[in-house]
Structure 1
Amino acid sequence: MISKTTLFSIFAAGVSAQQVGTLTTETHPALPIQSCSAAGTCSSLSTSVTLDANWRWLHSTSSSTNCYTGNAFDATYCPDGATCASNCALDGADYPGTYGVTAAGNALTLKFVTNGPYSKNIGSRTYLMASDSKYQMFKLLNKEFSFDVDVSNLPCGLNGALYLIEMDEDGGTGRFPTNKAGAKYGTGYCDTQCPHDIKFINGEANVDGWTGSPTDVNSGTGKYGSCCHEMDLWEANSISAAYTPHVCSVDGQVRCEGTDCGDGDLRYSGICDKDGCDFNSYRMGNKTFYGPGLTVDTKKKFTVVTQFVTSTGTDSGTLSEIRRLYVQDGVVIQNSVSEIPGVTESSSISDDFCTEQKTVFNDNNQFSKLGGLAAMGGAIGRGMVLALSVWDDHSANMLWLDSTYPTTASSDTLGAARGTCATTSGDPADVEANSPDSSVIYSNIKFGAIGSTYSTTG
């Protein structure tokens, strides 16, 4: 899912680049994870996180002069995409001081608003690193992925998102030689929304047609988008949560333009499925399952487990089902079951579930048209990068996650009610002003054989 930053800095605004600057040392915060065997034995991996390039300072390769200020590229340094990539450098990050990103033990805390010495930062997006220059790649067919999360400090309008995307392991340096920064500096982002706010795509600046956002003073959109398969393991705040596979008709990261991007009225003509097939317990009819004081009590930490079941029960099988369960206070909590008339009682995502849900909710089934779970399984088998983020929504105020959406629908319209947040909530200006100290904590990340990453021992 796309998150945005607002940096008001005398040095820089959040932006991505292709050269490497030397004015701030880049040191990745350590975030060890565990790999688990079928016997339940887990071993630690020395992983870390890097900040997405869209948040970083972009400046001249020969000075500290900005290449991007406010929501515009500097015309002198960036008259076109290739020249901009040659003239401008991406620098290191002060993770806690500027971006509100802190790591301790196996926990990563992402603060929503951070007032640093030179900037005001909004949200963040980070990626898990296997080494100093390569992302950690997850191949999860016939496996499960689990993590602990604390969303107690995430109100309406915010999204603590943990998800997989089919980015290049090296951030694109191998395919695009003009990209000198690579994974170390968080380059190469893509998702199924084919976002146009990525400042550098395929080793070139997204300068052509760049237009500043009317609601975000440091964001804009260019001619090109960056597309790839996306598996939303977790999109949530303290009110609502969803997990959602999204697929594309292409594999790996691809730069799009025109119809292929699926913008606006062409939403269902593009190469990616922007809607996905979501399982949100509230939307599926159980309004007492997830939230403060409910079955999954969001006032305290809990474990989220996602299992990728194949048709053959082997790593080479076709993805047939995505299961979800929770663990809290040492108790395993099975996912809620669909209570929507016309949708078979189910607690997991399958192709049949998606077809029934789309039909009953009168939604376009682009997920099925672009290959469904088999396509999602292709990406999961090839390997995907883990993104950990917190963000607010300048497009739809996060109402698609935690309120009634579209807002013109009645709350009793099947599929419209997604949570208890008011339809007037989630405006970024309000959230940033009234909930700046919001945060999310991700910890205890594990992956391995199904049934190996969690226990009931507390």
Structure 2
Amino acid sequence: MYLAIICLYLAASVLGQRPGNVIAENAVSMPMQTCTKGGCTLENTKVVLDANWRWIHTNSGYTNCYNGNQWDPKYCPDGKKCVQNCVLEGADYQKTYGISSPSSGSLKLNFVTNTPNGKTVGSRVYLLAPNNNYRTFNLLNREFSFDVDVSNLPCGLNGALYFSQMDADGGMSKHSGNKAGAKYGTGYCDAQCPQDIKFINGEANVNNWNRNSGFGNYGSCCPEMDIWEANSDSTAYTPHPCRTLGQSRCSGNSQCGAGNSRYNNVCDRDGCDFNPYRLGNQNFFGPGKQVDTRRPFTVVTQFVTSNGQDNGQLKEIRRLYVQNGKVVQNVKTNIKGVSATNVISDAYCKNVKSAFGDRNYFGEVGGMGRMGQALKSMVLVLSVWDDHVAGMKWLDSRYPDNGLPSKAGVMRGRCSPSSGDPNTLESQSPGSSVTYSNIKQFGTMGSTYKS
């Protein structure tokens, strides 16, 4: 996922991997529940801001190490010297980043937050355990549920809740240059192998840094399970397996899968998505539809194994919703040439990729079996973002741009292709937001929601 930052604390979007002492780090409380058929128990978890959003300055003063979308060569002539010269600060979550907890167990992420020093656009946070490591999840033979309110999230924006196979300590034990760890939101990775991560494997991503795009030579790769990508008009859930497990660093556009090298990547950047609108169901999700996005609802995702046991292979990923006390089963596919189904499986992915004329890279990197191996240890990520690369058209509009609307799979939602323009969104819809609440972690299937 590509996350754009217009201006951060002290008018700079900067970060580092050693903690500073200017701003106190006070992660936002967001307790979750672990459930079985016998009931649920509370965990005192918090959310911590990603390092990419934080202010970094020299360890001997307040000079920015990164400013105007470029590294200061005096302090960051190379990746290793940069971590020696620069520190990563704590965060004022609400005032600088628009991150708040309106009530116990809820998290509100504002799209644009104005500060005396500029504005912050979007945010990304991780669930943090009491020991200051990321709270990790084994999703096999479990279900995961949460409540969400997307009523204030228009076309072109994405309120995302997903899992990435990050290191629990943020990579601190593996990389000597990382002294901040999970407490300061380090170690991010996903299946896009993002090259906009400014510190990877304990080094600054200085080499070949492109000031215009905000991309460096390195990318940070790992398996990703997109539980929820949505706005008020469209939604999708998508597994992204990789040939490798855990976080790894790629080097160069070709190895990281940028541009025309998409299928050189160790990870499946496309994924195998289930988007009701794209699958021929235009009246299932949205304002006033079967899942009515004008009001909050519960999202339940179940990870079904081949033998119904924890040691089984991932067979299916199922989805259902609960709204106004009523369970709404996921809608079935309505595409010519695709057998009607409402679950993600290897057969579904093969059939739908064929129907859409897409390469089944999902199957090539190992499909559901490979995804299931990654699901044994995942970190929860929550975010809100706009898309400076594709205007979010892959989620809620026509994509690719030259695709015929009549061709199966091209229409992802009813939004205008121009609705995702970041400049328009940031100027005309700055007050947009998404609210997550009631995060519950599984146990027995059917234990995290009420019908």
TM range (shorter): over 0.9
Moved more, 80-89 or 128-137: 128-137
- Mapped to 2, the partners of 1:236 and 1:228 lie a distance apart of 22
Alpha carbons 1:128, 1:135 under 8 Å: kept: yes
Residue pair 1:3, 1:389 contacting (<8 A) in 2 also: no
Counterpart position of 1:318: 313
* 2:186 paired with 1:187: yes
Tell me how far 1:132 sits from its aligned partner: 4.9
CA contact (8 A) 1:53 1:186 kept: yes
Identity of aligned residues (%): 56
CA-CA distance at 1:131 after TM superposition: 2.1
Question: Which residue in the other structure is 1:333 paired with?
Answer: 328
Please name the residue that 2:78 is paired with: 80
Distance in 2, Cα, partners of 1:116 & 1:132: 31
Contact 2:2 2:389 in 1 (8 A): no
Are residue 445 (structure 1) and residue 439 (structure 2) matched? yes
Task: Please report how far the alpha carbon of residue 393 of structure 1 lies from its aligned counterpart in structure 2 after TM superposition.
Answer: 0.1
**In the aligned structure 2, how far is the partner of 1:131 from the partner of 1:252?**
22
* 8 Å contact kept, 1:99–1:121: yes
Specify the SS of the correspondent of 1:192.
coil
Give me the whole-angstrom Cα distance separating, in 2, the residues matched to 1:140 and 1:327. 20
Corresponding residue for residue 358 of structure 2: 363
Q: Is the 8 A contact 1:12 1:57 kept in 2?
A: no
TM-score, normalised by the number of residues in structure 2: 0.98
| Match for residue 257 of structure 1 among 251, 256, 259 | 251
Deviates more, 1:362-371 or 1:253-262: 253-262
Gaps of 5+ in 2: none
Measured in 2, the distance between the counterparts of 1:198 and 1:59 equals 17
Aligned to 2:100: 102
Q: Secondary structure at the match of 2:375?
A: helix
Query: TM-score of the superposition, structure 1-length normalised?
Result: 0.97
The SS at the match of 1:333 is: strand
- C-alpha contact 1:97 1:117 (8 A) present in aligned 2: no
Displacement of 1:8 in angstroms is 5.1
SS of residue in 1 equivalent to 2:29: coil
The answer to whether the 8 A contact 1:392-1:428 is kept is yes
Contact persistence 1:358–1:364 (CA under 8 A): yes
| Kept in 1: contact 2:14–2:65 (CA 8 A) | no
Aligned positions, number: 448
**Matches of 1:362 and 1:179, distance apart in 2:** 43
After TM superposition, list the pairs within 5 Å mapping 1:129-208 onto structure 2: 129-208=128-207
Match of 1:233 among 227, 231, 241: 227
Give, in whole Å, the separation in 1 of the partners of 2:278 and 2:182.
37
Secondary structure at the counterpart of residue 424 of structure 2: helix
Report SS of the residue matched to 2:418.
coil
Q: Distance in 2 between matches of 1:363 and 1:89?
A: 44
- What is the identity, as a one-letter code, of the residue corresponding to 1:70? G
Displacement of 1:40 in angstroms is: 4.3
User: Aligned pair in 2 of structure 1 residues 202, 210: CA closer, same or farther (>3 Å)?
Assistant: same
| 1:391 is aligned to 2:390 | no
Q: CA deviation at 1:260?
A: 2.4
315-324 vs 117-126, greater mean Cα deviation: 117-126
Report if aligned partners of 2:8, 2:55 keep a CA contact under 8 Å in 1.
no
Secondary structure at the aligned position of 1:226 is classed as strand
Return the alpha-carbon distance in structure 1 between the equivalents of residues 439 and 116 of structure 2: 32
Match of 2:216 in 1: 222
Q: Is the 8 A contact 2:8 2:54 kept in 1?
A: no
Do 2:28 and 2:48's aligned partners in 1 also have CA atoms closer than 8 Å? yes
Q: Distance in 1 between matches of 2:299 and 2:232?
A: 14
Distance 1:240 1:40, change over 3 A: farther
Could you tell me which residue of structure 1 aligns to residue 421 of structure 2? 427
- TM superposition shift of 1:15: 2.6
The question of whether the paired residues in 2 share the 8 Å contact of 1:16 and 1:187 is answered with no
How far, CA to CA, are the matches of 1:118 and 1:4 in structure 2?
17
SS class of match (1:50): strand
